[in-house]
Chain A
Amino acid sequence: MFVIGLTGFMTRRNLIVMFLCTELMFQGVAINLIAFGRYHGGDAMYAGQSFVIFVLVIAAAEASLALGLVVLLFRQKATLDADAWRELKG
């Protein structure tokens, strides 16, 4: 799922869908973390789950900030196209 999200992030031009793909990458990572935690057993199981809690926290914080930025960018150019900001390319 991480790779699917990565492919989508590189491909889609809609800003909102790009951020949705980053959330998809978070999902893949979360599954991995919990699986690794359970595999190692014992105390590591809760380590994996708490790591996922923190990943969720970061995802929520990043989602709110990203959507605020998307709204601002949309106000500037009235488009959600990522290519509209091509002038930022170095």
Chain B
Amino acid sequence: MLGNVLTLGSPFVSPPILAQGDYVVSPAAVLVLCVVAGIGTLLLLPSARETSFRAIGGVILIAAGLIFAALVAHSAAATEGQAVYFWIFSAIALIGAVRVVTHPRPVYSALYFVLTVFATAGLFILLWAEFMAAALILIYAGAILITYVFVIMLATQAQTGGNKARYAGLADYDALSREPLIACCVGFALMGVLMYLIFDKASVLPIHQPPTVQTPIESPLNGATQQLGEYLFKNQLVNLELAGLILTVSMVGAIVIARRRVVDNIEVYEPAPETVTGPATPVNDDPHSIPVVGTDNPRQKAYPET
């Protein structure tokens, strides 16, 4: 459940305490907690159960998270001042993520996703990636999520709902999950394996020395954003141009995909029929004259069409 904890654990949960062969948290406990969290999520997913069941699922999930947090906090003797923010942001991000997945209404899923994006941006700031935090908020919460909310507004279907009062305003596909048991088993088995591996091997990782001095890239500018820009344009120039190309292509593709055919509505332009009283051009009595459209030479020879 707290799947991103120990990827950040190495630089953040205070390095001096990791002795060789000493686990931050026992991997077996992590595995058990993953299973418990999986059961909690399974109960929390939208289904035709009573509200009390889903509430129990939520409580189980929160309990698993708190136990895990307590285990890690217990083993981390010295905590840096910044570690508190890490826990706060992580908790908000994960709770938001779980609610995105388990909330029956799609609009609430989008809103919880905005909350998750903000928490992730906070985590980015803790990792000295301020530009990425701002870019995340701008791009994700600003553009992509707004697009999602608009599409949700446009594509809402009349609700038939189930027979339970809670799901009265929902369509059928929102009220029921699709194979929740297998999905939760697969998902949390993957997470259990990954976290087991991470926690098992975390003790043998070299102790991270947080860079106290950022190595400048031959420039008087020393801010992180400036250095990121210099890195991008010096080392990743081709990738940058390709990214722009991808955006252009996707823009064109989106326009082409969503274009509505308007064949029925276009009025075919027909010029008003002209009333011709006589031949438009002077009549040529020459029988060998070249036929002109609109004129009729009665004495013209009938030439075969070539």
- A binding-site residues for B, Cβ under 8 Å: 1-8, 10-14, 16-17, 19-21, 23-24, 27-28, 30-32, 34-36, 38-39, 41-43, 45-50, 52-54, 56-65, 67-72, 74, 78-83
Contacts of A83 in B (CB 8 A): 173, 178
A20/B151 contact (C-beta < 8 A), A1-B93, A31-B123 known:
no
Q: Which of B120, B177, B209 contacts A31 (CB 8 A)?
A: B120
1/0 per position for B69-110, CB-CB distance to A under 8 A?
A: 000000000000000000000000110011011100010011
Docked CA distance A60–B22 (Å): 42
Docked CA distance A2–B7 (Å): 13
- Is A71 in contact with B7, judged by CB distance below 8 angstroms? no
Q: Total interface residues on B, using CB and 8 Å?
A: 84
- Is A67 in contact with B94, judged by CB distance below 8 angstroms? no
Q: Which of B101, B246, B257 contacts A11 (CB 8 A)?
A: B101
- Which positions 168-190 of chain B face chain A at CB distance < 8 Å? 171-174, 176-180, 182-184, 186-188, 190
Docked CA distance A32–B184 (Å): 22
Docked CA distance A82–B269 (Å): 43
**How would you classify the secondary structure of chain A's contact residues: helix, strand, loop or mixed?**
helix
B32 at interface, CB cutoff 8 A: no
- Which positions 217-241 of chain B face chain A at CB distance < 8 Å? 227-228, 231-232, 235-236, 239
- Is A49 in contact with B101, judged by CB distance below 8 angstroms? no
- Is B144 in contact with A4, judged by CB distance below 8 angstroms? no
A46/B228 contact (C-beta < 8 A), A6-B187, A65-B250 known:
yes
Docked CA distance A74–B155 (Å): 7
Docked CA distance A63–B45 (Å): 24
Contacts of A39 in B (CB 8 A): 10-11, 208
Docked CA distance A52–B136 (Å): 9
Q: List 14 A-B contacts (CB under 8 A).
A: A1-B116, A2-B3, A3-B190, A4-B1, A6-B187, A6-B190, A8-B100, A11-B183, A17-B100, A23-B144, A41-B208, A67-B151, A71-B155, A74-B154
1/0 per position for B260-289, CB-CB distance to A under 8 A?
A: 000000000000000000000000000000
- Is A34 in contact with B129, judged by CB distance below 8 angstroms? yes
